Structure 1
Amino acid sequence: MGRARPGERGPPSPGPAAPPAPPTHRARALALLGALLAAAAAAAAARAYARHTEAQAAARQESALKALGTEGLFLFSSLDTDRDMYISPEEFRPISEKLTGSTPTASYEEEELPPDPSEETLTIEARFQPLLPESMTKSKDGFLGVSRLALSGLRNWMTAASPSATFAARHFRPFLPPRGQVELGEPWWIIPSELSVFTGYLSNNRFYPPPPKGKEVIIHQLLSMFHPRPFVKTRFAPQGAVACLTAISDFYYTVMFRIHAEFQLSEPPDFPFWFSPGQFTGHIILSKDATHVRDFRLFVPNHRSLNVDMEWLYGASESSNMEVDIGYIPQMELEATGPSIPSVILDEDGNMIDSRLPSGEPLQFVFEEIKWQQELSWEEAARRLEVAMYPFKKVTYLPFTEAFDQAKAKNKLVHSILLWGALDDQSC
């Protein structure tokens, strides 16, 4: 290229590079289409995998049905708690313990703690009167195909499994309020409910409760005094245990609680039979550090004419072979025989003292009188726990005759509800 002549302009010098042109609408549309196609392919692959998994499960179930038969598959399913069509060693444990006659070996957190010779213990007694057969309205012998075999677990349950048991005071620590929650009548959950009216319910086809964990342990141990197969969490909502403070002093709390739990009265080869009390309620008076328990009582309320729900299977199908009835149990109660006392008595020098006098009589402990600074009535505490379990109880429900007086005074209509059982406990 030659030089420019005088008076002529040379070629322009190269300037900075121009920015890239923005993507066109077409390019953006192609990118979006590609992303949608990729998402659709991933969703299709996920659906295909799910169908493949379901087909495998169906094939395993069909194979098991051919090998075991309907009743055998029913028993297998009751042990297969995770529904993976395999019985793991943990799932087989209840059958193994039953065949060998061994007792369950628990690895609960509380039991792993080494015993403290100076800690206090208390004795709890169980009082049990069996369900009154005449209170069952539907399940008379021969009625609706009900047989004595179907009710055998109920008929054979005549006494408490453990009339008496001893516990360390520290085992009741789960009844203490959460840190920072010292408001009278403010409910908290000892065992939260994992179900609601929207999440359905747990399978009826089970015989053995899952191992309790954490705060479930003490409640499981207490309920085991009645029957060896308590389920700390019921099949239906609301589950769990709720509590609130009813009295506070410098060193003690009074805690009221409400527990929804149930029992499985049958074992293989019989079909499951569920026994669901309307509720367990009660109170505990314990020191704020749970080293001393002054009083404890747990019971099924018996002021209503029906207080237990019973459901049982009479065939391998959960949906079509279920029978249900309601009945009345006069007494189902646990109570401490007295305050907790030291297991070992030491003098000022740390030497052990004989717990009996020279006459042979046991030493008598004198307990200080508790001076309560704040108190809440039993009725109000029970109402608040009831609302925690059943939020619809925020609305005031009245007896039949009182409702009309209120309706007339307020010029409102009456909404009447007629039930076989009680709407605000587990017996309905």
Structure 2
Amino acid sequence: MGRSRPDERGPPSPGPAAPPAPPAPPPRCARALALLGALLAAAAAAAAARAFARYTEAQAAARQESALKALGTEGLFLFSSLDTDRDLYLSPEEFGPLAEKLTGSTPTASYEEEELPPDPSEETLTIEARFQPLLPESMTKSKDGFLGVSRLALSGLRNWTTAASPRAQFAARHFRPFLPPRGQAELGEPWWVIPSELNVFTGYLSNNRFYPPPPKGKEVIIHRLLSMFHPRPFVKTRFAPQGAVACVTAVSDFYYTVMFRIHAEFQLSEPPDFPFWFSPGQFTGHIVLSKDATHVRDFRLFVPNHRSLNVDMEWLYGASENSNMEVDIGYIPQMELEATGPSVPSVIMDEDGNMIDSRLPSGEPLQFVFEEIRWQQELSWEEAARRLEVAMYPFKKVTYLPFTEAFDQAKAKNKLVHSILLWGALDDQSC
């Protein structure tokens, strides 16, 4: 047999390249070290975060202790009531209300001048305040000497016997916030004039405050109206539901009747006294105004007085707002604002554009004749009130019945009875 010999035609042509071999997996100990390094880094970051948090808390505690030594308990309490952002520094805006109180001065440009400038060509109306103070005997807990209650604690309440401004003039256009939003003028459909910023999950605002924040936008007219009762109204309450809700109850070619419900409260004390909060169950009422808000035919706002208790009161009797708080409920017979008549032009012009004297030669004022409003759609007061109530308290979608009626309904429908016993009303701010 002969030996084979290499092919004399040359080396064979190369085939397709083989794929690279996968890298060898790292040793198990290397993977363990990498994981341990990551865990140690995470632990170090967490420890650093905790250390920074403790450092921040220690700094805050040191500043708090320093402030307590410098101001004393009562002084720190007053300082905290002004320090709204809780940074332990008073900005000029935070210090402003106290500076005005101490100096007796007023700001050069108030929110009224900025947002409600006068216009001599528009219609104006006069609103009167009617006020009867809270009946002391209606307070079930807070008699003198009982539960540590003193005359000093209730001094702001006892001294509030008359309305702060018995009469005030407003321009018709200032009531524009009560008009329904564009496209939402459906009869009985509620909308929020001032939305609530609180709910059952967000908690409540601090009790340790004396001066309300400057109102903005639609809050301005409500703040001006409530200021006729007392100089320190808070347009938004400390507890939910806050704000104001409204709905259209009647419609004509040129006018709306709008019913509204407002949750607001008052601070009756000023430093050095402790805060005293006065929270009516609700303000309700109606306004009849033209669709362009140039004319107001009627206006009324009041605290309902058909229940035996209609005001909640809460006050501090020490520097801690968590442990030194007392609560009671009472009855106020009358807290009401009402227009003396429809809005009328401030300046009267004849057909040639000349100004006319607003008084007759006899001295009597000119009498205006207003056209009769022909309503095309109307909703009852009771139904409108129910819808506003549901907007504020969604649980009212369930029908609540008087005690005796509930058992008749339960028997007829073969259902159980859920009975609720309260020291006030569940569906307003007096409870």
Structure 2 vs 1, CA of residues 286 and 49 (structure 1 numbering), >3 Å: closer, same or farther?
farther
Structure 2 vs 1, CA of residues 404 and 346 (structure 1 numbering), >3 Å: closer, same or farther?
same
Displacement after TM superposition at 1:148 (Å): 0.5
Structure 2 vs 1, CA of residues 217 and 145 (structure 1 numbering), >3 Å: closer, same or farther?
same
CA–CA distance in structure 1, aligned partners of residues 33 and 250 of structure 2: 70
What SS is found at the alignment partner of 2:213?
A: coil
What SS is found at the alignment partner of 1:143?
A: coil
Structure 2 vs 1, CA of residues 112 and 277 (structure 1 numbering), >3 Å: closer, same or farther?
closer
Displacement after TM superposition at 1:52 (Å): 2.7
Match for 2:223 among 220, 223, 226? Answer: 220
CA–CA distance in structure 2, aligned partners of residues 51 and 22 of structure 1: 50
* Contact 1:240-1:259 at 8 Å conserved across structures: yes
Displacement after TM superposition at 1:54 (Å): 2.2
* Contact 1:264-1:274 at 8 Å conserved across structures: yes
Deviations 1:75-98 (A, max 9, x none): 111111110001111111111111
Displacement after TM superposition at 1:153 (Å): 0.3
What SS is found at the alignment partner of 1:257?
A: strand
* Contact 2:116-2:174 at 8 Å conserved across structures: no
| Aligned residue number for residue 304 of structure 1 | 307
* Contact 1:3-1:10 at 8 Å conserved across structures: no
Displacement after TM superposition at 1:346 (Å): 1.4
Displacement after TM superposition at 1:168 (Å): 0.9
Structure 2 vs 1, CA of residues 361 and 5 (structure 1 numbering), >3 Å: closer, same or farther?
farther
Structure 2 vs 1, CA of residues 256 and 36 (structure 1 numbering), >3 Å: closer, same or farther?
farther
Deviations 1:9-57 (A, max 9, x none): 7779899999998899xx9999999888777766655444333322221
Displacement after TM superposition at 1:62 (Å): 1.0
CA–CA distance in structure 2, aligned partners of residues 19 and 412 of structure 1: 77
1:353 pairs with 2:356: yes
Q: Which one is further off, 15-24 or 278-287?
A: 15-24
Structure 2 vs 1, CA of residues 134 and 2 (structure 1 numbering), >3 Å: closer, same or farther?
farther
* Contact 1:239-1:261 at 8 Å conserved across structures: yes
* Contact 1:308-1:426 at 8 Å conserved across structures: yes
Structure 2 vs 1, CA of residues 31 and 369 (structure 1 numbering), >3 Å: closer, same or farther?
farther
CA–CA distance in structure 1, aligned partners of residues 15 and 191 of structure 2: 74
Deviations 1:246-283 (A, max 9, x none): 11111111111100000000001111100000000001
What SS is found at the alignment partner of 1:256?
A: strand
Uncovered stretches (5+) of structure 1, i.e. residues with no partner: none
Displacement after TM superposition at 1:416 (Å): 1.2
Structure 2 vs 1, CA of residues 33 and 10 (structure 1 numbering), >3 Å: closer, same or farther?
farther
Structure 2 vs 1, CA of residues 66 and 354 (structure 1 numbering), >3 Å: closer, same or farther?
same
Structure 2 vs 1, CA of residues 390 and 362 (structure 1 numbering), >3 Å: closer, same or farther?
same
Q: Which one is further off, 29-38 or 161-170?
A: 29-38
* Contact 1:110-1:171 at 8 Å conserved across structures: no
Displacement after TM superposition at 1:412 (Å): 2.0
* Contact 1:175-1:190 at 8 Å conserved across structures: yes
Q: Which one is further off, 418-427 or 3-12?
A: 3-12
Deviations 1:384-407 (A, max 9, x none): 110111111111011111112112
| Aligned residue number for residue 338 of structure 1 | 341
* Contact 1:207-1:264 at 8 Å conserved across structures: yes
CA–CA distance in structure 1, aligned partners of residues 228 and 23 of structure 2: 75
Structure 2 vs 1, CA of residues 35 and 153 (structure 1 numbering), >3 Å: closer, same or farther?
same
* Contact 1:249-1:374 at 8 Å conserved across structures: yes
CA–CA distance in structure 2, aligned partners of residues 279 and 179 of structure 1: 26
1:295 pairs with 2:298: yes
Rg (Cα) greater in structure: 2
Displacement after TM superposition at 1:409 (Å): 1.5
Match for 1:370 among 369, 373, 377? Answer: 373
CA–CA distance in structure 2, aligned partners of residues 6 and 124 of structure 1: 121
TM-score (norm 2): 0.91
Number of residue pairs aligned between Structure 1 and Structure 2: 426
Structure 2 vs 1, CA of residues 349 and 201 (structure 1 numbering), >3 Å: closer, same or farther?
same
1:2 pairs with 2:5: no
Structure 2 vs 1, CA of residues 335 and 9 (structure 1 numbering), >3 Å: closer, same or farther?
farther
* Contact 1:404-1:414 at 8 Å conserved across structures: yes
Q: Which one is further off, 223-232 or 2-11?
A: 2-11
Displacement after TM superposition at 1:152 (Å): 0.3
* Contact 1:223-1:230 at 8 Å conserved across structures: yes
Structure 2 vs 1, CA of residues 318 and 20 (structure 1 numbering), >3 Å: closer, same or farther?
farther
What SS is found at the alignment partner of 1:408?
A: helix
* Contact 1:109-1:214 at 8 Å conserved across structures: no
CA–CA distance in structure 1, aligned partners of residues 10 and 109 of structure 2: 96
The root-mean-square deviation of aligned C-alpha atoms, in Å, is: 3.5
Q: Which one is further off, 341-350 or 124-133?
A: 341-350
* Contact 1:230-1:264 at 8 Å conserved across structures: yes
Structure 2 vs 1, CA of residues 218 and 41 (structure 1 numbering), >3 Å: closer, same or farther?
farther
* Contact 2:134-2:332 at 8 Å conserved across structures: yes
Structure 2 vs 1, CA of residues 34 and 305 (structure 1 numbering), >3 Å: closer, same or farther?
same
Deviations 1:75-129 (A, max 9, x none): 1111111100011111111111111112355553873465322111111000000
What SS is found at the alignment partner of 1:282?
A: strand
Uncovered stretches (5+) of structure 2, i.e. residues with no partner: 25-29
| Aligned residue number for residue 90 of structure 2 | 87
